[in-house]
Amino acid sequence: MCVRKLRAEVLDALYAHLKKCSRLCGRLPKTEHYTHDEHVCDERCGLLRDHWTSRPHQCNGRCRPHRCKPMAPGSILRIHAIISAALNLGVRYEWIDRNPAEKATPPRARKREPDPPSPAQAARLLNEVWQDDEQFGLYLWSAFTTGARRGELLALRRNRFDFEAQEVTFARNYLVKQGQRIEKDTKTGEGRRLSLDPLTCELFAEHFRRRRAALAATGVKVPPDAFAFSPDPAGAHPWNPDTMTHRYGRYAARVGIASSLKELRHYSATQLLSNGVDLRTVAGRLGHAEGSTTLRFYAQFAQPADQAAASLLSGQLAELRKKERLRELFSQQPTAADGGALGALATALAPVVRMEYETALAYLAEIAADRSRITGNPTHRPRGDSA
């Protein structure tokens, strides 16, 4: 289609179809070819199928007839943003007169409610995993305590740790795409240095020590840039990210956790914010450039923090009500009271306003001082005083 003929209704039709099916499947049945090059169709070509892998393969029972699956609104919004940016460039270069994407109506993104495990569930999960697989247990421990992404943890190497300074540097991200192992920059394109607690440093140091000891008998030396989490004894390559996800799902089901591995980042953000860590620090640990990203996507509504907020407000108002009631009762006294009289007055009024004696006495002394300063003005007469 010529870009000059593109209209907002065409984009709306695209978004409507993506909301029904993410693959633009169109009408069924149709033939889906395993390659775009010239070829002789075989069993790999057939009715539109959902293949179990994107790599070239012989279809089997895992490649099933296609079932429409809608694309997430957030993904459609990203597509819309890309199209809109490209059309803005066309306007800038005077290829088109206006941007039709400005009048298109992409779907609204639904706010995703995080569902991280509770601290009790996290403890049960770690105990369950550590009994069977200490390396995977250490991986989950790192995910809980650092909030790092799945690929960032898998790309972690031995020389990224500084146990003396109790720090670790996340500088790379690891993924497997179409069978290709790819190590690239982090999601934000920038590395970050995180502080580690002494226990985490001890766990990693012991993990590396055991690896060296196990290979010492065979004469194999572990290189300093060995991957921290690897199926290879020498740490030559990391685990497949999908392996960690599936393994987590099996263990999580045992302890009643229904959320995914990614929710461990939510756990880290939620617990830090709930326990008073400032937003800038939390965003930095998670690798977010803006604190708003942390609040919008990762900070779960924390019940303990909400209860603390409610207690703070109600407790403050209740205390102010008692103080104002004490002030009102004190204003009914005809003359200012000295120290001894304030003690007797606090004894009498504390039960009335439901306040501790020491607190009531301190408030009365403060109120009496205020009253003395006010009565120094001859035009002011406290309420309850005679003219």
Q: Domain check: are 97 and 215 in the same one?
A: no
Mean pLDDT computed over every residue of the chain: 83
pLDDT of residue 337: 56
Based on the structure, what is the number of domains in the chain?
3
Q: Domain check: are 129 and 55 in the same one?
A: no
Residue 25, pLDDT above cutoff 90: no
Structural domain includes residue 361? yes
The CA-to-CA distance between both ends of the chain, in Å, stands at 93
Q: Domain check: are 133 and 229 in the same one?
A: yes
Residue at a domain's end among 292, 321, 349: 292
Residue 291, pLDDT above cutoff 80: no
Q: Domain check: are 81 and 179 in the same one?
A: no
pLDDT of residue 67: 80
Is residue 245 very low, low, confident or very high in pLDDT (cuts 50, 70, 90)? very high
Element (H, E) at 180: strand 180-185
Residue 378, pLDDT above cutoff 50: no
Q: Domain check: are 239 and 172 in the same one?
A: yes
Specify the higher pLDDT residue, 165 or 343. Answer: 165
pLDDT of residue 363: 85
Q: Domain check: are 19 and 129 in the same one?
A: no
Measured CA to CA, the distance from residue 211 to residue 222 in angstroms comes to 8
Supply the CATH number for residue 175's domain.
Answer: 1.10.443.10
Measured CA to CA, the distance from residue 188 to residue 185 in angstroms comes to 8
Structural domain includes residue 297? no
Element (H, E) at 46: strand 46-47
Residue at a domain's end among 79, 103, 127: 103
Lowest mean pLDDT: which of 53-67, 150-164, 357-371? 53-67
List the domain range (segments joined by +) for residue 198: 119-292
Element (H, E) at 80: helix 73-92
Structural domain includes residue 114? no
pLDDT tens-digit readout, 311-361? 676 777 778 888 888 888 888 776 655 556 888 888 888 888 888 888 888
Single-letter residue type at 338: D
pLDDT of residue 39: 67
Residue 64, pLDDT above cutoff 90: no
pLDDT tens-digit readout, 121-138? 999 999 999 999 999 999
Lowest mean pLDDT: which of 61-75, 151-165, 179-193, 232-246? 61-75
Residue 144, pLDDT above cutoff 60: yes
Q: Domain check: are 76 and 140 in the same one?
A: no
Contact of 17 with 24, CB cutoff 8 Å = yes
- Beta-strand ranges (E) seen in 208-287 are none
pLDDT tens-digit readout, 347-357? 888 888 888 88
Residue 49, pLDDT above cutoff 70: yes
- What does the angle CA 289 – CA 293 – CA 298 come to, to the nearest 5 degrees? 125
Structural domain includes residue 387? no
Q: Domain check: are 200 and 274 in the same one?
A: yes
Q: Domain check: are 85 and 139 in the same one?
A: no
Residue at a domain's end among 56, 71, 103: 103
Task: Write down the pTM of the prediction.
Answer: 0.65
Measured CA to CA, the distance from residue 241 to residue 250 in angstroms comes to 15
Q: Domain check: are 142 and 17 in the same one?
A: no
Q: Domain check: are 87 and 196 in the same one?
A: no
Q: Domain check: are 318 and 270 in the same one?
A: no
Structural domain includes residue 267? yes
Q: How far is CA 174 from CA 21, 261, 314, in A?
A: 29, 16, 49
* Coil, strand or helix at 377: coil
Using a pLDDT cut of 90, give the percent of the chain over it.
39
pLDDT of residue 44: 67
pLDDT tens-digit readout, 252-266? 999 999 999 999 998
Structural domain includes residue 227? yes
Structural domain includes residue 77? yes
Q: How far is CA 146 from CA 47, 287, 338, in A?
A: 46, 10, 59
Lowest mean pLDDT: which of 5-19, 25-39, 174-188? 25-39
Give the Cβ contact number of residue 251 at 10 Å: 19
Structural domain includes residue 298? no
